[in-house]
């Protein structure tokens, strides 16, 4: 649900320590504000673990070739990668999973504090206090997650050089083909840039697409001209298919 945070070695431990301290401080704040703080903390912890696991299923960067000497290994998870290695991340990293859980845990506790302040303020100024509190709380809970693709970029392949230029040009023309999807495409993440499969000169650029709530849709491909400036073909594919299979 957000840009990938690249961590290695001691940076992982330091970042995890900062997140843990922040979580403790947020839990103390909740303890001072509500007698139901154990329930709030427990719910946020369970939700954080679920979101971290879900991110490993939803946010996938397959092995890619663009800008690499050979094949760059893929990874899964966001904002911290929790799987890495070849074949889109086969190696599970428990330590990184814990750090990813802490990221979501801190975000949920923080946003919960904001929601509590807003709901209490609106409820105190309204006659139908309970009804308005439920409505505002539901909107504040669902709307940011539903629109997350608009302001939080997903993880994607890190290309450079000429493939990067071609990918940027392809991204500018996504609007020509995303209307073919059955549901709105809210965000597209670059997967790879490879030679066209139809034998024509030029490159094919493949994107992984997402809709509301960062639900994965499938793939969107653009076949670029030899100069790599514009596309002359493209389309959308379901999740079960890839941009590189024969006949696409």
Distance CA(38)–CA(143), nearest Å, equals 25
Which has the minimum average pLDDT: 116-130, 143-157, 186-200? 116-130
Helix axis angle for 37-58 and 10-33, nearest 10°, is 140
Q: Supply the pTM of this predicted model.
A: 0.88
3-state secondary structure of 150: helix
The confidence band for 134, taking pLDDT boundaries of 50, 70 and 90, is confident
Reading phi first (left if > 0) and then psi (alpha if -120 to 50, else beta), residue 218 is in: left
What pLDDT is attached to residue 3? 44
Q: For the chain, what percent of residues have pLDDT higher than 70?
A: 92
d(CA 101, CA 49): 5
Count CB atoms within 10 A of the CB of residue 124: 9
d(CA 59, CA 62): 10
Q: How far is residue 208's CA from residue 228's CA, in Å, rounded to a whole number? A: 20
**What residue spans define the domains of the chain?**
10-151, 162-238
For 8-17, the pLDDT digits (tens) are: 667 888 999 9
The DSSP output letter for 127 is S
pLDDT in tens, 113-133: 999 998 888 766 656 677 778
């Amino acid at each position: 649900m957000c840009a990938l945070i690249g961590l290695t070695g001691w940076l992982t431990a330091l970042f995890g320590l900062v997140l843990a301290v922040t979580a403790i401080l947020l839990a103390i704040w909740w303890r001072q504000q509500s007698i139901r703080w154990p329930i709030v903390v427990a719910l946020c912890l369970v939700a954080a673990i679920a979101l971290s696991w879900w991110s490993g299923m939803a946010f996938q960067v397959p092995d890619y070739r663009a800008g690499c000497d050979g094949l760059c290994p893929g990874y899964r998870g966001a904002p911290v990668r929790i799987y890495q290695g070849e074949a889109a991340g086969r190696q599970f990293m428990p330590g990184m999973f814990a750090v990813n859980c802490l990221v979501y845990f801190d975000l949920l506790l923080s946003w919960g504090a904001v929601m509590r302040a807003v709901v209490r303020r609106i409820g105190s100024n309204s006659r139908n206090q309970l009804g308005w509190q439920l409505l505002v709380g539901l909107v504040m809970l669902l709307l940011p997650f539903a629109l997350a693709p608009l302001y939080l970029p997903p993880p994607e392949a890190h290309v450079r050089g000429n493939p990067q230029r071609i990918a940027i040009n392809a991204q500018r023309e996504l609007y020509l083909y995303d209307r073919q999807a059955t549901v709105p495409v809210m965000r597209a993440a670059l997967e790879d840039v490879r030679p066209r499969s139809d034998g024509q000169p030029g490159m094919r650029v493949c994107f992984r697409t997402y809709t509301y709530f960062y639900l994965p849709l499938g793939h969107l491909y653009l076949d670029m001209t030899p100069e790599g400036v514009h596309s002359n073909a493209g389309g959308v594919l379901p999740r079960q298919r890839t941009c590189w299979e024969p006949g696409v």
